[in-house]
Amino acid sequence: MNVKNLIEKNKDYIVEMRRYFHMHPELSFEEFETTKKIAEELEKMGIPYEIPTEEPKTGVIGVIKGGKPGKTVALRADIDALNVTEKNDVEYKSQNVGKMHACGHDTHMAMLLGAAKMLKEVQEDLCGKVYLIFQPAEEVGLGAKYMIRQGNWFEETDNIYGSHIWSGVEAGKISVEAGDRMAAADMFKIKIKGKSGHGSLPNETVDAVVVGSAVVQALQQLVSRNYSPLDSVTVTVGSFHSGNRFNIIAGEAEMEGTNRYFSREIGERIESDMRRVIKGVCDAYGATYELEYKYILGPTINEEKSSKIAEKAVEKVAGKDAVASMQKTTGGEDFSFYLEKKPGCFGFVGCRNSKIGADYPHHNERFNVDESVLAKGAATYAQYAIDFLNGEN
């Protein structure tokens, strides 16, 4: 069963949906109108759905039951937008000032709705069940866990597929490699406590600016001298605040940052390694510290068999030349929570086309996509579901 012949039939609908969602962006856990629109579209298709009962009641879970018994596969799209003021001059420009689908989640919803239409047409030939997961709040890393708590769809699911439109990949190419795809994303906050005093009497103080600066430097060496150079690890201090007057030596400093890595083993030790380094620096200067560490997202790791299914699906709908190779990225994605419990694959649908200005990075106020790729992205969703349910590997 191949949905390639349904691409042309549904491409205009998919672009129409993408532009609608682009014009009406909503932030994480505020996707109320977006939820209503998705539900309306599924209702038009005759696809049963549920809206989460847990507050804030955003997101949609649709289900297509095949005409034959079999396994269960889930297809996921995220639905939230960002606090970005759009600068694109297009007819479908965001109508919600200060909010924009600057990461492409508008395309994800459109592609999954397009896949739903394709799967509905072949419903009687499906061997099993397909869940359509329209997930809120990916941008804040909370949506996947929220959706897992809704009903029993996740417990029933045998495999899951998701995809992300990707500005780093040429339009028309799709990457579905096995292994590490996106990094874990942790957050940390460090508070340094020294002793303030007059700038002319440094000997009577413990300078939090100096201590904090030494901590930043030591954390960079933590990576280069504690982890294998073959591992991808980053420790980033993104903000540093200390002091409020030119002639006062600061007694306190506060830093915030993020760690990125792909190995779960690194995730089990990086916090304790940081504590050891920070304590050592503070002890040397006579200061004390507090470290608040949060594990926000785990690494996104594609299962090998699922990636093979995805690769064959891409070949069927777009040809062998469409299968792309892409380096892993240190960006984070809460699809990782699904893959911690279930086998599956997360793909990247290339949308980069400099000829039409679709070459800005994600989260940029001029981010845009080559819409010609969306129908094949939708077909990949549908073909993956069909092939998994038919037992292909």
**How do beta strands 288-297 and 184-193 pair?**
antiparallel
Q: Residue 381: which of 351, 342, 334, 347 has the closest Cα?
A: 347
Q: Which tokens in the block code for residue 255?
A: 């830093």
- Specify whether 80 is catalytic: yes
> Do 41 and 17 form a contact (C-beta atoms < 8 A)?
yes
Give the count of beta carbons closer than 10 Å to the beta carbon of residue 340.
13
Task: Count the residues in the chain.
Answer: 393
- Cα(388)–Cα(391) distance, rounded to whole angstroms? 5
Determine which one of 31, 80, 106, 359 is catalytic.
80
* Half-sphere CA count of 207, side-chain side, radius 13 A: 13
First to last CA, the chain: 15
- Cα(236)–Cα(290) distance, rounded to whole angstroms? 17
Q: Counting runs of H as helices and runs of E as strands, what totals does the chain give? A: 11, 16
Q: Residue 182: which of 77, 302, 332, 361 has the closest Cα?
A: 332
Report residue 290 CA to chain centroid gap. Answer: 30
Q: Kindly list the distances between the CA atom of residue 260 and the CA atoms of 50, 183, 214, 235, 326, in Å, as whole numbers in the listed order.
A: 35, 6, 21, 7, 18
- Specify whether 265 is catalytic: no
Determine which one of 26, 78, 138, 177 is catalytic.
138
Based on C-alpha coordinates, what's the Rg of the chain?
A: 24
- Cα(393)–Cα(262) distance, rounded to whole angstroms? 26
Q: Which tokens in the block code for residue 75?
A: 């297809």
Q: Residue 301: which of 261, 259, 340, 349 has the closest Cα?
A: 340
Residues forming the active site: 80, 138
